């Protein structure tokens, strides 16, 4: 038995020394086959345990198992060292080519609605209009009554309203209530303001309509403001928004808060007025509604209509974006399709 124990110790020392000389995964695997594999030296030595007596066999088996566990632990530690060495060797061999272009990074963009809104506000800012922020939750009086929508007036049916649980408190259906707030804040001083923001209407969502959308309202009040001033402002806007040389036309319309009222068209930016699919062969694209502020609305805002006059206009931001960027479905704006936002933004 003493000879077997000496042989086991000698094998352990030999195997440990051999393991220290391995420098690759292949060499460590070869070492395993030589010492711990089925045909390995330790396995062959363990087969000799059967020749020992019953008394010697447990002691020799315990020593042999200790040697085996020690060698397996040493092998695992050595293979981890070899793995790190091989990784470092591979990285050193590859190197880093600092002349290669970097990986492209996805850069965020403004939402198309936001970009168009800022463009419009910048245009009117150059014409002396200031931005006025108005509330999105309004009273029925500000949203309708003070704007000359009388109770039961059929024009109210044109704007399907979202009502709240509080009586006479609604989500605004247009940005026009901001006119009253602005006038009452600044009257009797002359004002020129634009009022951007969200509007809400209880409508079926289609390619041309959304229940939530953005508008920009414009208002100018002062002494001796005429319809010609309105025309000049809107013609300048059309040229700055859609390109130099644009033409506009006015078509008579009706809004309770303006008199006279008009719909404003610009000659088609795609076909130049010749007629195409976008303008439905008419050569014109509708861009906004406008008119001279109704005397009743002026009075409700705190101005004497005998001394003051004014004009107002309003436009949908999504519509301006659709016209300028050739978008044919308003639903695309709020579906969060990154492909659309990347193309149109």
pLDDT at 130 over 70: yes
pTM above 0.75, yes or no: no
259 against 106, higher pLDDT: 259
- CATH class, range 112-344: alpha beta
What is the Cα–Cα distance from 184 to 182, expressed in whole angstroms?
6
> pLDDT digit string (tens) for 307-342?
999 999 999 999 888 888 878 888 888 888 888 888
Residue 316: strand, helix, or coil: strand
**Would you say 132 and 340 are in contact if contact means Cβ atoms under 8 Å apart?**
no
> pLDDT digit string (tens) for 190-241?
999 999 999 999 888 887 788 899 999 999 999 999 999 999 999 999 999 9
pLDDT at 27 over 70: yes
Among 311, 315, 309, 219, residue whose Cα is nearest residue 263: 315
Q: Which two tokens stand for residue 240?
A: 């700055």
Q: Flag the least confident range among 39-43, 168-172, 274-278.
A: 274-278
**Would you say 302 and 184 are in contact if contact means Cβ atoms under 8 Å apart?**
yes
**Would you say 174 and 215 are in contact if contact means Cβ atoms under 8 Å apart?**
yes
Among 224, 247, 251, 253, residue whose Cα is nearest residue 234: 247
Q: Break the chain into its structural domains and give their ranges.
A: 2-94, 112-344
> pLDDT digit string (tens) for 76-128?
888 899 888 888 877 777 667 778 788 887 777 888 999 999 999 999 999 99
> pLDDT digit string (tens) for 135-184?
999 999 999 999 998 887 766 666 688 889 999 999 999 999 999 999 99
Predicted local distance difference test score (pLDDT) of residue 133? 95
Q: What are the φ and ψ backbone dihedral angles of 210, each rounded to 5 degrees? A: -130, 155
Q: What are the φ and ψ backbone dihedral angles of 70, each rounded to 5 degrees? A: -60, -45
């Amino acid at each position: 038995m003493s000879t077997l124990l000496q042989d086991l110790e000698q094998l352990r020392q030999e195997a440990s020394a051999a393991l220290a000389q391995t420098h690759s995964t292949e060499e460590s695997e070869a070492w395993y086959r030589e010492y711990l594999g089925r045909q390995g030296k330790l396995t062959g030595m363990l087969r000799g345990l059967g020749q020992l007596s019953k008394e010697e066999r447990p002691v020799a088996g315990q020593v042999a198992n200790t040697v085996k566990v020690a060698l397996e632990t040493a092998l695992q530690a050595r293979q981890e060292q070899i793995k790190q060495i091989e990784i470092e060797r591979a990285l050193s061999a590859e190197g880093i080519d600092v002349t290669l272009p970097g990986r492209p990074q996805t850069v965020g963009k403004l939402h198309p609605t936001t970009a168009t809104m800022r463009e419009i506000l910048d245009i009117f800012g150059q014409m002396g209009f200031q931005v006025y922020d108005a509330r999105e939750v309004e009273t029925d009086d500000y949203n309708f009554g003070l704007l000359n929508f009388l109770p039961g007036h059929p024009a109210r049916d044109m704007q399907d309203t979202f009502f709240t649980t509080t009586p006479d408190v609604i989500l605004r259906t247009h940005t026009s209530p901001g006119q009253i707030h602005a006038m009452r804040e600044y009257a009797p001083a002359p004002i020129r303001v634009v009022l951007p923001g969200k509007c809400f209407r209880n409508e079926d969502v289609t390619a041309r309509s959304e229940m939530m959308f953005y508008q920009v309202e414009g208002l100018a009040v002062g002494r001796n403001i005429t319809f010609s001033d309105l025309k000049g402002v809107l013609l300048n806007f059309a040229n700055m928004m859609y390109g130099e040389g644009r033409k506009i036309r006015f078509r008579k319309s009706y809004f309770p808060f303006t008199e006279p009222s008009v719909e404003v068209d610009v000659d088609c930016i795609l076909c130049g007025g010749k007629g195409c699919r976008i303008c439905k062969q008419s050569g014109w694209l509708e861009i906004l509604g406008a008119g001279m502020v109704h005397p009743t609305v002026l009075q409700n805002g705190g101005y004497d209509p005998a001394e003051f006059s004014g004009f107002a206009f309003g436009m949908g931001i999504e519509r301006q974006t659709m016209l300028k960027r050739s978008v044919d479905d308003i639903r695309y704006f709020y579906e969060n399709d990154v492909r659309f936002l990347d193309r149109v933004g």
